[in-house]
Amino acid sequence: MAARRKATGQAQAAAGGASPAQAAPAAEGPEAGGGPPAPPATGLFDGYDVGDFFDEFFEAPGRPRPHYRLLFDVLGSMTRDELDGHKRAADAAFMGAGITFAVYGDARAVERIFPFDPVPRVLSAREWETIERGLVQRVTALNLFLHDIYHEQKILRDRVIPRPLIYGARFFRREMLGMDVPRGTYIHIVGTDLVRDRDGRYMVLEDNLRSPSGVSYVLENRQIMMQTFPRLFAEHRVRPVHHYCQELLETLKHVAPAEAGSDPTVVLLTPGLYNSAYFEHTFLAQQMGIELVEGSDLVVQDLRVFMKTIDGLKPIDVIYRRVDDDFIDPLTFRPDSLLGVPGLINVFRAGNVAIANAIGTGVADDKAIYAYVPEIIRYYLKEDPILEQVPTWLCEDPKQRQHVLDRLPELVVKATNESGGYGMTIGPHATCEELEKTRERIVADPRNHIAQPTLALSRHPTYVDGTFAGRHVDLRPYILFGENPTIVPGGLTRVALRAGSLVVNSSQGGGSKDTWVLAE
Amino acid sequence: MLSRIGESIYWLARFLERAKNVARFLDVHAQLLLEQPWGTLGDGPANETFLPVFSLLGETDEFRAAWPGRPADRAAAVDHLVLDLDRPSSVRSIVRAARENGRAVRDRISREMWEELNTFHHALVGLEAEAVREHPHATLIDICRRIQRIYGVAEATLLHDGGFLLFRTGLFLERAGLTARLLRGRWFKLQAVEFRGLPVEPLGAAILKAASAFEAYRKVHHARMEARRVAEFLLFEPAFPRTVRFCLASVDYAVRGLRRSPPGSSSTIAERATGRALADLAYAEPGRAFKGQFGLDDFLARVLDHCDRIGEAIAESHFLHLPEEMLVDFRSAP
């Protein structure tokens, strides 16, 4: 499973987490062929194999979990033809609505839909309640951490986190030191990746604190699911997600400068038409009723940022940016960037415009600093973490490094400054040569490598070739950290459609599912 | 509305109007050659029958450079001015450019308009070159019709906001320039015909038809066709939507609408530029257009100059946002 993709072009590289892409590590356990004989199941579930994994849907072969029981009855009573028909209708709805992503490297720029699986993933009210509390706790602590790192740095002085780890982090921005951000908020929009291990425990795999993408699929999946399977919604009490865009706009307006008054001007800054997440940018801008701007549409004058309209220059109060730090202001960061706005950071520093997410938030989703998040939560909140996370060895520490090098074939090694599945070696799946290269990389640059045990990700029944089969899934809820933290119930469930695959990345055979949170 | 969006809509309209005129000029010229065979008026080399169309579009040099030694006949005109996707001046290229501008703003124009534009582009890409060279008329007429349909769809489905005003601005500014070019390209010939005592028709009629103005002209003038009347009609007729005066008045109206400026005042250099151009046409002394050293040619050069200045002024007022000190105000036309 090659999880590396080539970065193609500046525009793509500049978009933070441009496509819903994340490769999750896990061990490929043996498919359980044996076990106790399954009680008779219904219809398309006949012969469904839960395997040696935590199955989201079944607690035992043929026995659905309580919150899946109704779905089991409805889906089990469908014929293959019926389900094929629904699937075709859903695919046509995506294509017709133009909910597509561009595939790079093809001269004709083929547009494809992000494959959609018609079997929804269901979370019980209780499960969700814990996840929600855990995420709010985690994001609150990470936001306090960012404020501290860019101000007093108490957590460093108290030696909870080693100072070199921060100053060596790729996304630590010295420009932000001592600077106050509106309402003290750094991370307005967060996408946290959760996975479940063999015992069904939810674990945080990764925090995405820069500009997480994929939320448009959450909203569109639900729309299309409701059009295609109205009956399912009549029989379940599924908590709605449609208010996301309104909540997002409120979150953005909340950080507008006070002078902007009650109706601040908010814009969405996109790298442009050729970015793979451009559909999402147009979707969100349209849903919020705000302008979708490119860097060249904005201009800085007298410490204010303006958009160029046909009626002249119009001042802007809040920028929801989907352009990375590196590209956002050529006067401060990369001078060759054509996607940003020269002078924008000065305006930000003067407090005349809010930028969401703030600059420099990447220091808190660095993969080495991830290892310290439980400590960060205890340090700032004096609470124990509600959500667990994956044990992580830091290669910088000589003892931990030796441990990692000794057990390389069992572990997942990640480069700390990469995301979206780049720079990752999955021990059990790697060749000897790949392992040797990884070993060399670790020894050459220990700070930028971490290792984690290989997880057996949970599986979920997925409609493949006319039947239901278990496929690995993850979950990315989106947290809006505004006046009151808001999480639309559920999030994006990504599924690795290829048998045995752990890669949920859209460019490598990943798909998505509608994700339901049931009301009490 | 963002300037980038407005500018794309403005150019979308300009390109469509240009494509339509190229198609119509070609079609009308081909018809004229049937009624008045080439050479009867001492027109030029016998195999260069389409030279007048190249010349009035300002494409002669471009054509000579692109196809060395090739005579400017019908097939050459169809290749260079309609089919060749490598020539920016071909109808196919112009429509592709219009569609690219439309694609960049497809979420800001109506779905109906986008689909008309998109299917039109694809239809042109799929044209059979040999068939068009043999019988250009059907294709050329179809191009004109489809563009008119896009205009109709735009009018009926767009939000009539700043974007729509810029659509009108682009369309009428391009049309004003093309009507002036048409007249300028054919005026000496038309005068020569009249001077030699030959009937002003069919050339006069062809010029009017190239501006879709023949029937309108007939409704206004019942007397035998005169060169000067044809020119005056295409320049000054206030009630026909292809005359220079009508077009510039429409540009002026649209540009004023952008800032809701009352008549008689001006808040942008674009409004000042359109106002001056319009004054030059609407308040010209009778006969003045024909009084320069080179007669009407001087006046038409001046009209085209107005069009250029208006284009620049619109870009500066609404698209470029240059700092104030870099703006050039056009005090008065020369």
User: Can you give the residue ranges of every domain in chain A?
Assistant: 128-214+242-381, 391-453
The helix/strand/coil state of A506 is helix
At residue A8, the pLDDT reads 38
pLDDT at A106 over 80: no
ipTM reported for the complex surpasses 0.85: no
Q: How many CB atoms lie within 10 A of CB A388?
A: 13
Q: What is the identity of the amino acid at A481?
A: F
Chain A nearest CA to B110, separation (Å): 14
Which of A282, A286, A297 lies at the smallest CB-CB distance from B2?
Answer: A297
At residue A455, the pLDDT reads 87
For residues B175-193, average pLDDT: 94
pLDDT at B329 over 60: no
Chain B nearest CA to A273, separation (Å): 8
**Fold exhibited by the domain A391-453:** Dna Ligase; domain 1 (3.30.1490)
B170 and B106 in a common domain: no
B225 and B329 in a common domain: yes
Query: For residue B332, what pLDDT band results from cuts at 50, 70 and 90?
Result: very low
Q: Which two structure tokens, joined as six digits, stand for A271?
A: 């790298």
Lowest mean pLDDT among A11-15, A41-45, A92-96: A11-15
B148 and B4 in a common domain: yes
Q: CB contact, 8 Å: B3 with chain A?
A: yes
Taking Cα atoms as reference points, which of A199, A206, A143 lies closest to residue A482?
A143
pLDDT at B312 over 90: yes
Which of B3, B6, B107 lies at the smallest CB-CB distance from A286?
Answer: B107
Identify the residue among A269, A283, A310, A341 best suited for mutation to test binding to B, counting B beta carbons within 10 A and taking the highest: A310
The enclosing H or E element of A58 equals strand A58-60
First to last CA, chain B: 34
B209 and B309 in a common domain: yes
Lowest mean pLDDT among A102-106, A216-220, A365-369, B72-76: A102-106
Chain A nearest CA to B160, separation (Å): 14
Do the chains contact at B162 and A282, CB–CB below 8 Å?
A: no
As beta bridge partners, residue A190 has: A479
- What would the pLDDT profile of A183-199 be if each residue is shown by its tens digit? 999 999 999 999 999 99
Q: Which CATH architecture has domain A128-214+242-381?
A: 3-Layer(aba) Sandwich (3.40)
Do the chains contact at A308 and B321, CB–CB below 8 Å?
A: yes
Interatomic CA distance for residues A359 and A249, integer angstroms? 19
At residue B320, the pLDDT reads 81
- What would the pLDDT profile of B291-310 be if each residue is shown by its tens digit? 877 789 999 999 999 999 99
Number of independent structural domains in chain B: 2
Do the chains contact at A310 and B2, CB–CB below 8 Å?
A: yes
pLDDT at B232 over 70: yes
Do the chains contact at B6 and A310, CB–CB below 8 Å?
A: yes
**Between B264 and B85, residue with greater pLDDT:** B85
- What would the pLDDT profile of B12-58 be if each residue is shown by its tens digit? 999 999 999 999 999 999 999 888 877 776 677 888 999 999 999 99
For residues A484-491, average pLDDT: 94
Do the chains contact at A297 and B3, CB–CB below 8 Å?
A: yes
Query: For residue A103, what pLDDT band results from cuts at 50, 70 and 90?
Result: low
Residue span of the structural domain in which B170 resides: 160-334
B167 and B122 in a common domain: no
At residue B53, the pLDDT reads 94
B171 and B128 in a common domain: no
Q: CB contact, 8 Å: B321 with chain A?
A: yes
At residue A231, the pLDDT reads 86
**Percent share of chain A, pLDDT over 70:** 88
- What would the pLDDT profile of A58-84 be if each residue is shown by its tens digit? 999 989 999 999 999 989 888 899 999
pLDDT at A107 over 50: no
Chain B nearest CA to A201, separation (Å): 44
At residue B80, the pLDDT reads 95
B265 and B146 in a common domain: no
Crossing angle of helices B203-210/B3-35, nearest 10°? 160
- Sign of the dihedral defined by the CA atoms of residues A466, A59, A452, A365, in that order: positive
At residue A460, the pLDDT reads 96
B306 and B323 in a common domain: yes
Do the chains contact at A309 and B3, CB–CB below 8 Å?
A: yes
Interatomic CA distance for residues A186 and A438, integer angstroms? 34
Sort out which chain A residues have CB atoms less than 8 A from B318's CB and list them. Answer: 310-311
Place of tokens 């780049």: A422
Mean pLDDT over all residues of chain A? 87
Residue of B nearest to A294 (CA): B4
B129 and B235 in a common domain: no
Sort out which chain B residues have CB atoms less than 8 A from A299's CB and list them. Answer: 321
B322 and B175 in a common domain: yes
Do the chains contact at B319 and A307, CB–CB below 8 Å?
A: no
Chain B nearest CA to A40, separation (Å): 51
B177 and B229 in a common domain: yes
At residue A100, the pLDDT reads 67
B206 and B250 in a common domain: yes
Residue of A nearest to B315 (CA): A310
pLDDT at A10 over 60: no
Do the chains contact at B4 and A286, CB–CB below 8 Å?
A: no
